[in-house]
Amino acid sequence: MVTRPTVEQVRAKAPEPANVIEELRRRYDLLTHSQKRIAEYIVDQSQAVAFSTVDQMAAQLGVNPSTIVRFCYRLGLNGFPDLQERMRQVVRGQLSRADEQVETGATGAHLQGTTFGESLAHDLRNLQRTIMGLTADDLSRAVDQLIEARRVLVIAGFSAFSLSHYFGLVLSRLRPDVHILGADEGVSKVRLAETGAPDCLVAFTFPRYAQFTQRAAMWARKQRATIIAITDTPISSVGQIADTVLVSSPTGRPDRRYRIGVVADRNRDAEFHGGPDGCRQCAPQWGHRRQRYCSARALQQQRRTV
């Protein structure tokens, strides 16, 4: 017989308002598929959660309202109203950080109606959302981790590599032993193999999430190195295992965020065993059994379809 916890028990173990999203990040890998969809909606649509009913939220997700209520109790909250109140506090904190932001229309009125204006306005909205999602504590912790590290390894794949390269160049002017890693460089794998507890890995990862970045983060975690993730959501593959997560608002369609769980599960399946590479095609000595996720194999399949 399943018994519902008492109010006192719930309050004793309930997460702090600012830590609700952090709690979701820690537990995300243990959730079911439907629970992951609820967690992603809470992270992405905090204002909607704060001011909509449980029935409205359930309709948006296509789940039963009781599923959402049970999910709230699993987080240690006193039902959906408790989740709403905590998310309202999160939203109020975000709005307070947005008080000094300049209205998009006022700064780009002379470009209104043009492709340039639409593109710049879109970038400005993303920048504003990024600022609203950052906290001084997270930024200060990241700075301390970069200062205290013996070496700093900066890694990214696909379009995020340009960001990591610029960040690495600037950081190298402020401190020694900064190394920019790329998936196609043999020296990068040597650097990763030498990673230890005193080191810090800075990973830039956005959709499409690069498997090399995921593998490097998993390797750094096994070696007890510090991980700083700059990503689009705290429940991305690297975000879940990072010590510090700095969320940057992404561009593109919001509905693709519901595919994060699928991508995260696929990348975890591609986890390597014993080194920076892990599939049978790239590293036979590690005997990886998930060859279908090999990046080289995926590239071959992509070429066949062109």
Cα separation of 18 and 86, whole Å?
A: 8
The verdict on residue 22 lying in a domain is: yes
Residues 244, 160 within the same domain: yes
Residues 172 and 262 in one domain: yes
Instruction: Name every residue whose Cβ is closer than 8 Å to that of residue 162 and which is 6 or more positions away in sequence.
Output: none
For residue 274, the model assigns a pLDDT of: 44
Confirm whether 177 is domain-assigned: yes
pTM equals 0.65
Q: Is residue 128 part of a domain?
A: no
Residues 246, 181 share a domain: yes
What whole-number distance in Å separates Cα of residue 27 and Cα of residue 23? 6
Query: Is 72 in the same domain as 151?
Result: no
State residue 252's pLDDT score: 54
Domain boundary among 93, 122, 156: 93
Whether residue 125 is contained in a domain is answered as no
Q: Which two tokens stand for residue 4?
A: 């519902």
Evaluate whether 71 touches 38 at the Cβ level (below 8 Å): yes
Q: CB neighbours (10 Å) of residue 185? A: 11
Q: Are residues 254 and 141 part of one domain?
A: yes
Q: Is residue 231 part of a domain?
A: yes
Residues 140 and 260 reside in one and the same domain: yes
Asked if 54 and 72 touch (Cβ cutoff 8 Å), the reply is no
Cα angle at 156 between 151 and 162, to 5 degrees? 105
Residue 294 domain-assigned (yes or no): no
Please list the helix, strand and coil fractions of the chain in percent, rounded to the nearest 5, in that order: 60, 10, 30
Tally of domains in the chain: 2
Question: How far apart (Å, rounded) are the C-alpha atoms in residues 32 and 23?
Answer: 15
- Specify whether 141 is located in the same domain as 265: yes
Using an 8 Å Cβ cutoff, are 156 and 197 in contact? no
Predicted confidence at residue 66, as pLDDT, reads: 92
**pLDDT tens for each residue of the chain, 306 residues long:** 445 445 444 444 445 545 788 888 888 888 888 888 999 899 888 888 988 899 999 999 989 999 999 999 988 888 999 998 888 888 877 666 555 454 444 566 777 888 888 888 888 888 888 888 888 899 999 999 999 999 999 999 888 899 999 999 999 999 999 999 987 767 788 888 899 999 999 999 998 889 899 999 999 999 999 999 999 988 888 999 999 999 987 665 444 444 444 455 555 454 444 444 444 444 443 344 344 344 444 544 444 443
Length of the chain as a residue count = 306
Q: What is the pLDDT of residue 303?
A: 44
Give residue 286's pLDDT.
Answer: 37
Is 160 in contact with 204 (CB distance < 8 Å)? yes
Residue 26 confidence (pLDDT): 85
Clarify whether residues 238 and 172 are in a common domain. yes
Quick one: residue 227, left, alpha or beta (phi over 0 = left, psi -120 to 50 = alpha)?
beta
What's the rounded Cα separation, in Å, for the pair 182 and 125? 30
User: Residue 22 — φ and ψ, nearest 5°?
Assistant: -65, -40
Inter-residue contact 12 to 1 (CB < 8 Å): no
Among residues 93, 126, 150, the one where a domain terminates is 93
Residues 39 and 143 in one domain: no
| Same domain, yes or no: 257 and 155 | yes
C-alpha to C-alpha distance for 161 and 112, rounded to whole angstroms:
32
Q: Give the CATH number, domain containing residue 42.
A: 1.10.10.10
The domain boundary, picked from 93, 118, 149, lies at 93
Instruction: Say what the pLDDT of residue 123 is.
Output: 84
CATH number at residue 198: 3.40.50.10490
Q: Residue 204 sits in which domain range? A: 136-271
Check whether residue 149 and residue 246 sit in a common domain.
yes
301 assigned to some structural domain: no
**CB-facing half-sphere around the CA of 209: CA atoms within 13 A:** 31
Question: 21-37 burial, b if ≥16 CB within 10 A, otherwise e?
Answer: bebbbeebeebeeebbb
Q: Look at residue 97 in the predicted model and tell me its pLDDT.
A: 57
Please tell me whether residues 266 and 141 are part of one structural domain. yes
Residues contacting residue 237 through CB under 8 Å, at least 6 positions apart: 205, 209, 214, 217, 263, 264, 267, 268
Task: Please say whether the beta carbons of 90 and 49 come within 8 A.
Answer: no
Answer whether residue 179 is part of any domain.
yes
